Structure formats: C-alpha cells, structure tokens
Amino acid sequence: MDSRTESSEALRQQLREIARLACRARCIVVSTGAGTSAESGIPTFRDAQTGLWARYDPVMLASYEGFVTDPENVWRWYDERRQAMALASPNPGHLALARWEALALAGGQEFLLATQNIDGLHSRAGSMHLLELHGNIWFARPLKGAYSEACELPQCPLPQLPPYDGQGRLLRPHVVWFGEMLDNAVLSQAMVTAGRADLLLVVGSSSQVYPAAALPHAALRKGGTVVEINPSETELTPHAHFSLRGPSGELLPQLLAEIELLHPAAEAAAPAQRKGAP
C-alpha cells in the first residue's frame, strides 16, 4: 500500500468517525469563511482590489469614514463586487451543507450555519438556519439606521449610485466595515449556540478574524467536538479534534455521503423515495 492509498484510507476513517458524531449530535454548528466562497470564484476582499481599485486604501472602501467622504465611490466598489458575485454559483460544499441541514432538521437535531461571507451563496444553496455574521452585500440600510432596517437591493447593477430609500435617506451596504461591531443579536445567537454544540465545524477559514474565530473555542469549553476543514493549517489546528486538509467543495460532499449512510432521517427517506419511483 503506497502513501497515497494510506492517506486516502485515513481520510475515509476520519470522515466516518465525524459522520457518526454528526448523527449522534443534538446540536450542530458550522462556521464558514472566505475559503468556501473562493471555491465559487469569489475573490477575498483584498484580492478584489485589482485594476483601478488597487490604488485605494482598503479602509477608505470599507469604513464609515471612507463612506461619508465619498459614498458614490464606495458604492461603485460594492456594485462592482455585487456584479461579480452575481455570476458565481453555490459550489458542492455549499450544497452539501444545505443537504446536511435538511437531514439534521428532519431528524430532530439543531443545526446552525454561521458564515463570515457576505455573498449570499449559502442562502442560494438552500441553507435556512443561517447567520450572516458580517452582513449581506445584497442588502442595504440607512446610514444612521439600525441593523433591523436592512432591506434587499436585488437590482444589479444598481440604477443609482449612491442609492436612497423611499424616505430619501442615504443607504449604506449592509456589511460590517473596519472598526464596526457586529450585530449583537446575531453574534449572541451564534455564540450561545456554539456553546451548546456537540459538534462544530470550521470550514474554509483562517481562524484569525474575531469574533467569528471564537466560536470553536466556545464549543471546546463546553466539551464539544471541533472539526476543521481547510487547505492549510491555521491557529485552530492544534485545538481541533479533527483537522482535514483540502477544499471544502471536495471534503464536505464526501462527509455528507458518510452521514447519509448512517443518518436515521436519510434511511427513512429512502423507502419513501423508492415507493414513489416508477
């Protein structure tokens, strides 16, 4: 048996063990980062600063101060990003998480997906119990308004830059900028749920951006099992019970396949599907 075969078998064994834990867990939390979106062709914030935008200070494109200085320019930057994101599609990793959620809920488990990504791909993939920690680029809210005042801006490209709401108030992107706090209600729900998670996965994240990076540690403090899926090692790696190397778009479907072999909800669905087949 060569080293590649041994490595492949070791991965299968790890996936089977994680699948067993997933089927027994009462509460499952998945935290995703920029890596999951990158696999759909969406560049990270800094990677998106190409061409004309390369000469701009990132803070001036993603801060309250930069926005009030030149709202039209900031919105032009975000509108270009929106147009690029509109061309992207959920990848197999996104779809696997949505399918896993459906299985978990059918089996009476609690499932929460907390993402740092602002592109809306998890929602498009079908995830429902979703917290967008850093907001959503497809929404906007009044400059001095509350998080709860966010409204969807589906037109792409936007017909007016900067956009205003029906009351004539200047709108800002519904995303978290440099120097801003996350929506406390969203963050609190994520932290509380992570604290009672039997199983928590961190997927496609450098585990360096807080407070999102604190979620696995909340689970660890309460005795939860933490799984990391990422192409390279991170600061979380020494603390994780399982650390799988590779793209989430490859590993999550493999994990889902193992879960479907064991999950009671999947077994219950199979006879119904066969019964309805011609």
Task: Report how far residue 95's alpha carbon sits from residue 8's, in angstroms, rounded to the nearest whole number.
Answer: 23
- Which regions of the chain carry the CATH code 3.30.1600.10? 43-87+140-175
Segment holding 256, helix H or strand E: helix 248-262
The DSSP bridge pattern shows strands 242-245 and 199-203 to be unpaired
From CA 176, how far away is CA 158, in angstroms rounded? 20
| Residue closest to 74 by CA, chosen among 65, 83, 61 | 61
Count of beta carbons in the 10 Å neighbourhood of residue 172: 23
pTM: 0.90
Average pLDDT taken over every residue of the chain: 91
Q: Is 134 a catalytic residue?
A: yes
Q: To which CATH superfamily is domain 43-87+140-175 assigned?
A: SIR2/SIRT2 'Small Domain' (3.30.1600.10)
Residues with Cβ within 8 Å of 190's Cβ and at least 6 positions away in sequence, in order, are: 29, 31, 112, 114, 131, 133, 212, 215
**Would you state the pLDDT for residue 182?**
96
CATH code for the structural domain at 3-41+90-134+183-276: 3.40.50.1220
- Split at pLDDT 50, 70, 90, the class of 265 is confident
What confidence score (pLDDT) does residue 169 get? 96
Of the residues 94, 134, 174, 263, which is catalytic?
134
The average pLDDT across 124-143 equals: 98
What are the structure tokens assigned to 57, written together?
């200070």
Q: Where in the chain is the domain with CATH 3.40.50.1220?
A: 3-41+90-134+183-276
If one counts every other C-beta atom within 10 angstroms of the C-beta of residue 74, the result is 23
